[in-house]
């Protein structure tokens, strides 16, 4: 019999029944698109030493004197293009919430499991949700970074924030972290099924499909980050599952920032080159994103579609992410159930 179900001594602080927590985490989102909301979000994001591995004094000056002066306004306009006016939130928040709610529904018959969701940057924050779980009796918590491919600038910084939160707790829960699932057969199959379904609905057949992943500086790879290799493996496995050649399904990297060399080939330059080279029909899939967001809805479906058309291309399609579709939820549930083994019976 555990402490929660045992009679407690008189005056003993209340103890919640023991539970297992599952916290799914995505990158983050501003609370609104105005200048100051964007500035808060960008400051938190770009101050992370895992995200920007620059000399701290130099970067502090660049960030505060230049970037946080001009970039919030520009990025706010980009977010305005995809903002959900009815809910007054970004699509990433809407989708991540739905993923959390649908995962909670999977465990609805198990009162010993508590499912929640959080954002690494912005709200709801990782510390706030971990604290809520601990107070609710969760003495074991599974942290699930929703990044199929591991990168220090994404997966590791989620762990950093979680560990910082645990530092403030007197009674720390045990913490497990779900590993990347870039080559998980369930994930590859879900991507393939989703692509097949969406490609079948197009009025044209793409001559080339780009698998576009968020880029990182080349220096990160040189220092041993496995991200590039995991993106390449995901693309190879997806190509094999779909029966496509290397010329048909190609790996590229998007969203570069600053003047440093990033992982190549670059998505935007590839899109322009393909159109200039005579490719008329193009589709882009973004397997590294578990939910549609600014980088998929505005950068790929918006900016890169324009690049393609302006350079002579005719038909362009942005393949939606797995999101909270049955295929997407099958991946998340599979990862969670596997990582909860030994903590729950089913």
Please enumerate, by residue number, every residue annotated as part of a binding site.
214, 295
Sign of CA dihedral 329, 163, 165, 214: negative
Residue 71 CA to residue 64 CA, distance in Å, equals 11
Residue 312 CA to residue 249 CA, distance in Å, equals 20
The CB density around residue 246, as the number of other CB atoms within 10 Å, is 10
Using DSSP, state whether 145 is helix, strand or coil.
strand
Q: Which residue has 């989620």 as its token pair?
A: 158
Do the Cβ atoms of 127 and 165 come closer than 8 Å? Answer: yes
Binding-site residue ranges for Fe(2+): 214, 295
Measuring CA to CA, which residue among 203, 212, 131 is closest to residue 172? 131
Measuring CA to CA, which residue among 149, 138, 128 is closest to residue 176? 138
Burial of 100: CB neighbours in 10 Å, binned 0-12, 13-18, 19+: buried
307: cis peptide before it, omega within 30°? no
Q: Is 88 left (phi over 0), alpha (psi -120 to 50) or beta?
A: left
Do the Cβ atoms of 144 and 155 come closer than 8 Å? Answer: no
Using DSSP, state whether 121 is helix, strand or coil.
strand
Q: What are the DSSP calls for 185-218, one per residue? A: HHHHHHHHHHHHHHHHTSSS--SEEEEEEE--BH
């Amino acid at each position: 019999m555990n402490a929660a179900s045992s009679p407690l001594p008189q005056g003993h602080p209340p103890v919640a029944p023991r539970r297992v927590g599952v916290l799914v985490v995505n990158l983050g989102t501003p609370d609104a698109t105005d200048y100051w909301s964007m500035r808060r979000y960008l400051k938190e994001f770009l101050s992370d030493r895992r995200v920007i591995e620059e000399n701290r004094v130099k970067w502090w000056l660049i960030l505060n004197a230049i970037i946080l002066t001009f970039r919030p306004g520009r990025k706010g306009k980009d977010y305005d293009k995809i903002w959900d006016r009815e809910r007054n939130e970004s699509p990433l928040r809407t989708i991540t919430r739905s993923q959390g709610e649908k995962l909670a529904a999977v465990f609805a018959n198990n009162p010993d499991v508590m499912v929640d969701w959080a954002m690494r940057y912005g709200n709801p924050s990782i510390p706030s949700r971990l604290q809520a779980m601990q107070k609710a009796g969760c003495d074991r918590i599974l942290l699930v970074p929703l990044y199929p491919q591991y990168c220090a600038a994404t997966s590791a910084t989620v762990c950093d924030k979680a560990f910082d939160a645990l530092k403030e707790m007197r009674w720390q829960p045990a913490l497990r972290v779900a590993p990347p699932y870039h080559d998980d057969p369930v994930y590859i199959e879900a991507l393939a099924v989703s692509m097949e379904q969406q490609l079948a609905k197009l009025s044209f057949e793409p001559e080339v499909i780009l698998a576009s992943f968020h880029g990182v500086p080349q220096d990160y790879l040189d220092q041993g980050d496995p991200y590039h290799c995991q993106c390449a493996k995901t693309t190879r496995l997806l190509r094999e599952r779909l029966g496509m050649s290397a010329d048909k399904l190609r790996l590229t990297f998007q969203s570069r920032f600053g003047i440093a060399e990033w992982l190549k080939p670059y998505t935007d330059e590839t899109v322009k080159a393909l159109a200039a080279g005579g490719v008329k029909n193009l589709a882009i899939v973004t397997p590294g994103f578990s939910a549609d967001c600014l980088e998929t809805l505005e950068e790929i479906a918006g900016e890169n579609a324009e690049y393609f058309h302006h350079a002579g291309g005719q038909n362009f399609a942005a393949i939606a992410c797995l999101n909270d579709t049955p295929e997407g939820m099958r991946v998340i549930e599979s990862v969670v159930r596997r990582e909860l083994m030994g903590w729950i019976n089913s």
